[in-house]
Amino acid sequence: MAQANFSCPYDITEIRNLGYVECMDILELIDTKGLEELEELQDLIIKLIKQSKNVADGQSAPGEAGNDSQATFTSSADLMNQIISRDREIKQKLNGIYGDLKSFFKMSQYASDPSLQHELEIEFKNVQEMVEEYAEELMCDECPIVVTGETSAGKSSLLNLILGSNILPSSLRSNTSTVCRLHNHEQKMIKVYDQSGKKLVHHGVFDYNISDDVLKKEMQKYISSEENPYRYVDIFWPIPFLGSQVVIVDTPGIGENSEMTSRLLDYLPKAVAFIYVLNSENAGGVQQDRLLRILDEQNKWREKGRKQTFDHNCTLFVCNKWDEVPESERDRVWNDTKAKLRCWPGFTESQMFRLSALEAERRYRNGLDYTGDFQNLLRGIQKMVPASFQEKVRQHAWWQEKLLKQILFHVTAHINNTRLSQEEKRIKKEKVEDRLRRLECDTEQVKRTLKDEAKMRWAEISEKLHAYINDQETVEKLKEWDIHTEIPERESDFDLIEREAKEIILAKVGKEIKSWCENEKSLSNIRNELANRFREEYRLLEEQCHDIDNLVQDVEGSIELDDVDVQEKEPSHRIPLFAGKEQLALVLTAPLWVPLMVLAFSMALPVMGVIAVKDSFNEKRMCKNYIKNKKAFMDKWADEVLLRFSREAIASKLEMTYLETFYKCLEQLCDSVIPRQIESDRQLIANIQQEERHSSTIRRQYHPLEKRCQYMTGKLLLVQMEYFYEDNIVNKNITKGEFLGKGSFANVYKAEIVIGDERKSAAIKCMTQPFENSDSWYSQLTEVSTLLKFSHGWIVKLFGISYEEVGSHKYLQIIMELCDFTLSSQIFPGNDGSPAPVASCSQFPLKSVEIKPSMEFFKRISTDVCKGLVYIHKKNFIHRDLKPSNILLQGKRAKIADVGLTKETDFITGTLTGTPCYIAPEVILMKLYSTEVDIYSLGILLWELWYGAKAYEQDGITEDRIFELFEQVKAGHRPSFCQRHVPPPALQKLMKQCWHGDIKCRPQAGKVFDTIEDQSF
């Protein structure tokens, strides 16, 4: 092709105005073979003008055909390599945690403790083997993009386009079960494996400039013969787009034999993307029976216990041969294809891509850029691959979190129960076992009740659908035949006529089923009701398990929440009690009509029968009769097909799909997950009762395990927040402003941050201890982890985290919403003796007019704090440092802040935490404690809010005299009501109940809210 000597009399801006003849005149000396469209000729002229100008200017010219398209591939390769590099980075960090777990199991304190080992083995089976297995699975570098398609859809043309060479035979896949795997490699070669997939039987290395025709003949030897003995053919080719790890797997799809189907399903669970090629030329394509059979086969594999983790959202549908669809028909074909693809679980239009592989290949061959449609497809793949990577590594992080949480639960249970006498342990064991027996009975009852209810409700659906299909109006509609599209035109081969006719009839029946399902309101209601019933029963059983856990930990049962407005938005990353690598899946992934359509197509075989050896005379007679009265034959065949849709057949298919899925969810929960939890708790409490060693000996054994577990949890939290909670991470665009305050572990500054395109004012909490310090990892990250679990109007909102690098150290920064004031700054006098901004209630007589603003402030702040506290307790957390300086005011709303000490109730081991004058006596005494410690602190806070003074200062006891204060509190001393104007009797009584020495006398946060709300100020 001419370069520098190319001459064109027109300016580059005028080329789009040229006609076909003018373009051909300009390109008279240029090879334009294969270019058919005017736009392609114009593109070629523009390209040649640019190349000539580059050469004239002394720049290197692209020159070679496909260079611009190669640049597209190269940039795609860079992006893909970045995606893979990030995925490898996450995997290495999670693999480090697997390594830490392996080391944990080798710690002498664990290795010498068969009791703890047995407790974990019950719940996680062979936990150490699972860690080894999952670590190996995590680090597997195989990243397959699985490709399959419909007959004559042009799948090979698409793959040849990606290869940049026309080497795959176009007949590939219609008659063979061989799998082709396309790898990116500088050296061109192929490797052929036998049917076992292990033995290499051929290794061919080719010259880089070998012709496509020679290679195609070589390939045909191994992948086009129906009887070939080969399982895999690996093609190594320069495909920069794939990067270093992604492999395109060309599978035969759902074929005429189980071996072809098995090849596809072998790869789907590992796929980072699944590309399904449709033949748009064939009236929109979508051989719906093939897609439905893929879903049906997956269900069968799942029923046999085969691992199926394929994410249906990672599917791309390529509408190939789009250039063959008439312009006037394209909208109709697109919409028809979209409607048919709704059978795919979770399908959205964004998964569909138009393409003409031949057009894109033609442009590539002539040195033009790839078509926009093909570049869109590449971008679609690039977008899908990281999402798939993310989900697969997220599953590992999820399982690690579950394991670490349970290890920590068992370790802290052993520590917490060291304070109990043998008699107390015996009593506790009896209580726990009684709860476990009740849980066993309830679990069995839930399974039985929901199974019976589901069967009854689906029987109703089966009956309704059967009545609809056999209704006279429906039958008449089915027998309305469009002579042009719904009656076979064939006039010979009666067996094929009947087969085609029944396929048409089955398609019409399927359309009616789909229409009925979409319009039947009771169907949607039943599905939703069953799903909600399952979730509700699941939640109740989960709560029972958590109550038992609290009892095992020596923390009394769950909180009875009052009817307080605590609306919340659940974070998407919340891990339920039963979360594991095998997530419970109740979701009915496909519409109801999908299994019934599978039923319709599966009925084709018994209805159509097998094409037998023909009787020539009878054959001609039957064909002649058909030609004379096509409608009569179509009506007769329609009746035969409808006979197959009996009540029993419909009910059976529903039971094999949705009911089977529903049952399996129930069985997984009721026969596996909960029983393992019960048995593990039963073993744990038995071990605790049998423990006769001194408490100090037990603590020496378990404290190192607890610390190690906290360290691993901190590392995992870091990975999760760095890679999985990206919306909550702000790594740049932070401008630190004025200093706002100082805490025990951090300094707080005002800051300006940018999230997306929005600039916000924020408060930034800068930790004073280096982030890399393992001792501070857990405590620093716990605050962020806790905030991530909270989303509530009366809790300070988290924007994200960032890091400040000082020398070789990193310091964690927590970025939160900026509030106006702390409560302490508004109710206490200044250090210089200046009066507090808000006058306290105690300054005015109860019935005076002047007290009204102060009373309103008291009521608003105290009820807001109660709302936030109810929410925290509902989440099974304890704040542990509730005080005025940790209550922030924003406008007229009070919000609870500083959750750095907040901890889940399961993991309270009697540590002394909090600010001295707000610490409950049970904490001072180093006893186990629960949410009641926050109620104690709330009582002190209410007193300070009323009086505008710090508790105990009127008695001359300040926080710097900690031990004297603690002795007074243990002795029952509390703030007095003798100063100035005292609170109303009901409020005095409430405060005394809150700080009562007996935790059973303290009210719940919701009850405190109700009492304050009911006061008439």
Residues annotated as binding site for ATP?
765
Beta bridge partners of 813: 766, 802
Sign of CA dihedral 461, 466, 471, 476: positive
The helix/strand/coil state of 443 is helix
3-state helix, strand, coil in the chain (%, to 5): 55, 10, 30
Query: Could you tell me the two tokens for 145?
Result: 């993009």
Q: Kindly report the number of other CB atoms within 10 A of residue 593's CB atom.
A: 24
Kind of pairing, strands 246-250 and 179-184?
antiparallel
Question: If you ran DSSP here, which 8-state letter would residue 698 be given?
Answer: H
CA dist 359 and 325 (Å) reads 13
Q: What is the dihedral of CA 582, 588, 590, 591, to 10 degrees?
A: 180
Pick from 469, 504, 490: nearest CA to 604: 504
Burial tier of 186 (Cβ tally within 10 Å: 0-12, 13-18, 19+): exposed
Nearest to 210 by CA among 235, 232, 231: 235
Q: Which helix (H) or strand (E) holds 370?
A: none
Residues 6+ apart with CB under 8 A from 900: 743, 745, 746, 779, 782, 783, 881
From CA 234, how far away is CA 193, in angstroms rounded?
8
Helices and strands of the chain, counted as H and E runs: 33, 19
Query: How many CB atoms are located within 10 Å of the residue 183 CB?
Result: 17
Q: Decide: 52 and 3 in contact? Cβ < 8 Å.
A: yes
Unique residue bearing structure tokens 């290197």 = 60
Contacts for 965 with CB less than 8 Å, ≥ 6 apart: 916, 917, 952, 957, 958, 959
Strand, helix or coil for residue 164 = coil
The HSE-up count of residue 240 (CA atoms within 13 Å, CB side) is: 12
Residues 33 and 334 sit within 8 Å (Cβ to Cβ) = no
**Minimal CA–CA distance to 166: which of 121, 217, 110, 236?**
217
Distance CA 25, CA 968 (A): 104
Nearest CA among 1015, 1005, 953 for reference residue 984: 1015
List CB contacts of 196: < 8 A, sequence separation 6 or more. Answer: 231
Give the annotated binding-site residues.
765
d(CA 877, CA 871): 9
CA torsion sign for 569, 571, 572, 578 is negative
* Residue 287 structure tokens: 């051989």
Measured CA to CA, the distance from residue 990 to residue 984 in angstroms comes to 10
Q: What's the length of the chain?
A: 1017
Return the amino acid letter for 60: S
Question: Quick one: 873 exposed, middle or buried, by C-beta within 10 A (0-12, 13-18, 19+)?
Answer: buried
Cα gap 886→111, rounded to integer Å: 43
Mutual angle of helices 647-654 and 422-469, in 10-degree steps: 140
Side chain identity at residue 923, one-letter code: V
- 862 vs 942: CA distance, rounded Å: 7
Residue type, 636: K
